[in-house]
Amino acid sequence: MDKILNWGLLSTAKINRALIKPLRASKRTRLLGIASRSQSSADAYSREWNIPRAYGSYEAMLADPEIDVVYNSLPNHLHAEWTVKAMRAGKHVLCEKPLALTLQEVDEIISTSRETGKIAVEAFMYRHHAQTLKIKELVDAGKIGQLQLIKGAFTFTLAREGNYRFVKEYGGGSLWDVGCYPISFARMIVGEEPAEVFGWQVTGPGGSDESFYGQMKFGNDIHAQFDCGFKSPFRSFMELVGTEGSIQIPVPFKPGLKNEIYLAKGEDLETIKIKGGELYLGEVEDLCDAALKNSAPRISLSDSRGNIAAILGLLSSAREAAPIRLKN
């Protein structure tokens, strides 16, 4: 039987709730600890979610030798710092997206992972789901011919004033928060990095983008177009267009147990039903495989670096009002 990995939650962020259920469902994981900035906050969270150990500081959890894996759900600007600290403390890390806010931070995570032998993985949960794997298989098998265009969107209305997502210095903005999904999806489908990007943004009082409209140009005349934002109604979709057909994906980023995608060829529309699993369990099991079986994580650090490079390029383009060539 595999070793049981003890997990600790780094912060009491709302997204933790998505991880608690799969951590308790997996036969290879045990949710052992919760860390907060105060002992009272950690104790309250520990009681609410029945987590055995409560730490009054992030450092205290990293100092516990029985914690094997840390789930880093801190605000964006703290992801890289605490991922590095956790690895140096001997922990593997599942880090919420975005993994970092600069390429220098990503490179530090990569070098720290090599030095310590510890794994760091960015938590793009949809990448592990059966629907995503099936879509990639269909495109690679030529079911829509030669890929030409990828379109997508991820928007929702964020009304909470004071939310860190509005603060530029905290890694705020819709591109980092939700635009990263269609960017990641497009890069995964194409299987390479974009050569050039172009973007427009609408900024809010905090200086971050509240709406973003982006384009990416890949090799072989493949293009991607997407929008993301906090000021539009909820929208989430991807469309893949090829020379012989297209695939419509109504729920690309949060697929569930029962899923449907649509393959169109001429006037024919085929509904493809895909049985899925618990959305966040895939990233937990993937990290367990990497830690216990020495397998390569599905989302490599170089993959994460490519996504962050594309985001930074798009932000630069919006500021400079010019296309940006990416160095790959």
Pairing status of strand 258-265 against strand 120-122? unpaired
Within-domain flag for 300: no
Same domain? For 208 and 237 the reply is yes
Same domain? For 162 and 27 the reply is no
Pairing status of strand 92-95 against strand 120-122? parallel
What CATH number is given to the structural domain containing 237? 3.30.360.10
Same domain? For 112 and 256 the reply is no
Same domain? For 155 and 262 the reply is yes
Give the per-residue pLDDT at 165.
77
Q: Which among 107, 123, 139 is the end of a domain?
A: 123
Give the per-residue pLDDT at 2.
67
Q: Which among 94, 123, 152 is the end of a domain?
A: 123
- CA 313 from chain center: how many Å? 18
Cβ neighbourhood burial of 41 (10 Å; 0-12, 13-18, 19+): middle
Same domain? For 197 and 321 the reply is yes
Same domain? For 236 and 118 the reply is no
- Name the DSSP letter for residue 243: S
Q: What are the tens digits of pLDDT across the range 281-323?
A: 999 999 999 999 999 999 999 999 999 999 999 999 999 999 9
Give the per-residue pLDDT at 328.
65
Cβ neighbourhood burial of 104 (10 Å; 0-12, 13-18, 19+): exposed
Within-domain flag for 286: no
Phi and psi (nearest 5°) for 193? -90, 150
Q: What are the tens digits of pLDDT across the range 54-111?
A: 999 999 999 999 999 999 999 999 999 999 999 999 999 999 999 999 999 999 999 9
Q: Which among 66, 96, 123 is the end of a domain?
A: 123
**What is the chain's mean pLDDT, rounded?**
96
Exposure of 284 in the CB half-sphere (CA atoms within 13 A): 27
Give the per-residue pLDDT at 169.
81
Cβ neighbourhood burial of 137 (10 Å; 0-12, 13-18, 19+): exposed
Q: Residue 242 corresponds to which amino acid?
A: G
Within-domain flag for 291: no
Within-domain flag for 301: no
Same domain? For 171 and 94 the reply is no
- Total domains in the chain come to 2
Mean per-residue pLDDT, 125-146: 98
Within-domain flag for 302: no
Give the per-residue pLDDT at 159.
81
Percent of the chain with pLDDT over 90: 93
What CATH number is given to the structural domain containing 43? 3.40.50.720
Same domain? For 91 and 177 the reply is no
Same domain? For 177 and 321 the reply is yes
Same domain? For 195 and 174 the reply is yes
Structural tokens at position 27: 């036969």
Q: Among 177, 155, 156, which Cα is nearest to 166's?
A: 177
Structural domain range at position 274: 126-281+308-325
Provide long-range contacts, Cβ within 8 A and 24+ apart, for 54-57.
Answer: 55/8
Q: Is the pLDDT of residue 235 over 90?
A: yes
Q: Is the pLDDT of residue 162 over 70?
A: no
Same domain? For 84 and 136 the reply is no
Using only the alpha carbons of the chain, give its radius of gyration.
20
**Which residue is associated with the tokens 């960017």?**
183
Within-domain flag for 290: no
Within-domain flag for 293: no
Same domain? For 65 and 197 the reply is no
Q: Is the pLDDT of residue 1 over 60?
A: no
